[in-house]
Amino acid sequence: MDMEEHYKIEYGLFLNNNLASISKETYKSILDPEKQPIKLAQFRDEGFYSNKTPLTFDMNWLKHLDNISISAIDIKDTECLSEIQITGKWAPFTLTITNVDLAMIQEQKLYGLHYGFNVYPKGRRYNPAQPTINFDSDLMPKAYEQSLLLTDKHTGKWVDNFKKGLSKVYLTYPTLEKDVLDIYLISYERILPLWMGRVKLPNELREKVRIRNQLYNY
C-alpha cells in the first residue's frame, strides 16, 4: 500500500504470518475464516508496540462488503461533493463517507481519512510517503465538513471502528482519466491493508471532476 504499512509489517506488527508468507496473501485470502482472528501488535506509545498483548479482530465480515454507491450532494457553490457508501447484502455494517470532494483526489496519491466528524484528509504519495495536509479543517464551512462513520446496517447506530479493527480509509484514482475510484480499508494502527474496492464514477459527476481538474481544453 505505502511505506507505512510496509515497515510495520516488516517489523513484525502483523502476528499471524511471517514476512515471507504475508507477501503471498491477497485481499481475498486474508479474510478467509480459517485465518481469523487477525492478530496485531498493540500500540503502547509513539513508535512502540507490544506483541505480548496482541489485539485480535475477526475481519471475515469485510468479505461481504460488495456494494459501493456514489451520490452527488446538492450544496450551494459546490459541484463535486459526494457521499460514498460501502455495504453489502450480507454485510452487518455500512461505511459512509460524506462531503468528499472528488475533485481534490489525485491520481496515484492516497487521500487518507480517519473515522469521525470533521475529519481532514492527508495526501500520501506511494513513494516517498510524506503526508501533506490538503486543507485546514477549522476553515471548512460547516456544510462542507467531512465525516467517515461505521454504522450497524440494521439499526443505523454508530459502531466503534477500532473495535472492528479499522483505523483509516484511503481513496485514490488509479489513472489520470479520473473515471474509476479505488477505496482501501486499513487496519488498526494502519498496520495492514485489509479490503480494496473499485467503483466507476457516475458520468455526470465524472465530467465535473474532469472539468475541475482542467482535463479538457475548452
Residue 22 identity (one-letter amino acid): I
Q: What would the mean pLDDT of 99-106 be, rounded to a whole number?
A: 88
pLDDT value for 127: 43
| Claim: this prediction has a pTM higher than 0.75 | yes
Residue 75 lies in a domain: yes
Q: Please write the tens of the pLDDT for every residue from 118-154.
A: 776 665 544 444 444 455 556 566 777 889 999 999 9
Residue 8 lies in a domain: no
pLDDT value for 9: 74
Residue 2 lies in a domain: no
pLDDT above 90 covers a percentage of the chain that reads: 42
pLDDT value for 20: 62
Residue 55 lies in a domain: no
pLDDT value for 148: 94
pLDDT value for 129: 45
Residue 26 lies in a domain: no
Residues 6 or more apart whose Cβ sits within 8 Å of residue 202: 70, 72
Q: Provide the domain count of the chain.
A: 1
Q: Which domain holds residue 187?
A: 63-212
Residue 84 lies in a domain: yes
pLDDT value for 131: 43
pLDDT value for 184: 95
User: Buried b vs exposed e over 202-212: b needs ≥16 C-beta within 10 Å?
Assistant: eeebbbbbbee
pLDDT value for 140: 62
Q: What would the mean pLDDT of 44-55 be, rounded to a whole number?
A: 86
- Among 9-13, 70-74, 125-129, 188-192, which is the least confidently predicted range? 125-129
Residue 97 lies in a domain: yes
Residue 190 lies in a domain: yes
Q: Residues 208-214: contacts with CB within 8 Å, 24+ apart?
A: 208/79, 208/80, 208/103, 209/80, 209/102, 209/103, 209/178, 210/178, 212/79, 212/80, 212/103, 213/103, 213/178
pLDDT value for 217: 55
